[in-house]
Amino acid sequence: MAARRGSATPKPLKVDHPWFSRGYVRTEAAVERAVGEARRAQNVAARGRTLIVGAGTGLDVPALGPGATDVVLLEPDATMRDVLVRRYPTLRVVGEPAEAMPLERGSMDTVISSLVLCSVADLRQVLEEIARVLGGGGQYLFLEHVANPRWPAGAIQRAMDPLWNRMGGGCHLTRDVVQAIAESPLQLDGLEPVHRGGLLPIVRGRATAHRTDVGQATGAIRGSHNQEEGSPP
């Protein structure tokens, strides 16, 4: 696969969270107990050339469906990347940040992210990069935790966020990931809750690399959020 050429996008600072990453390796089984079923439901839909953004320790790989081919693992953190290389020596592992993917425009059919967008340096740029590397009709499958709009959970998230960010490898509790996707060059095609309420509500969704009216997408998302208003905070 050819490398990206002619990009003027400046690269963000190096991603390096060794203490968090080592701890994650030790606790990944607990993570999988919490989201493994949703991850498998998401990844079985992968098809064609597949990019996993923020591949971490590779938990997304065994959940991929048989239609996924030419799998590429993007992971800028060196500690996580070492684990990937050991576990998946036959797959291509790329160490660049998600804000500056060294991949050609339209070179992927599926892009996957799982609990990743909370910690990227520039969320808007990452979503633009995802849209760029997806070919016509390409799909973006995401499993992400999001900000809780309800009180008191939202207020607690905001109070905890600075400390959480420092201890959690750059993770933010308060990012409105769904709204960011709606305002990106991606078209949101589906969204469903995985875990409702609390400090770590999680959603699973699908978007495609076709631009639609942002207002329509935003209205659909707000309607989805309104349906969840009866859930506990």
- What whole-number distance in Å separates Cα of residue 69 and Cα of residue 221? 31
Q: Which pLDDT score is estimated for 73?
A: 98
Q: Which of 207, 216, 212 lies closest to 189, judged by CA?
A: 207
Sorted by where each begins, the domain ranges of the chain are 18-227
Q: Which pLDDT score is estimated for 14?
A: 62
pTM across the whole model: 0.80
Are the beta carbons of 169 and 119 closer than 8 angstroms? Answer: yes
- What whole-number distance in Å separates Cα of residue 20 and Cα of residue 98? 19
Q: Which pLDDT score is estimated for 119?
A: 87
- What whole-number distance in Å separates Cα of residue 108 and Cα of residue 218? 26
- What whole-number distance in Å separates Cα of residue 79 and Cα of residue 169? 12
Contacts of 216 (CB under 8 A, 6+ apart): none
pLDDT tens-digit readout, 12-33: 456 655 555 555 566 677 777 8
Is residue 193 classed as helix, strand or coil in its secondary structure?
Answer: strand
Are the beta carbons of 84 and 76 closer than 8 angstroms? Answer: no
Low-confidence ranges of the chain (pLDDT < 70): 1-27, 164-165, 168-170, 211-233
Q: Domain 18-227 sits in which CATH superfamily?
A: Vaccinia Virus protein VP39 (3.40.50.150)
**How big is the chain, counted in residues?**
233
Q: Which pLDDT score is estimated for 191?
A: 95
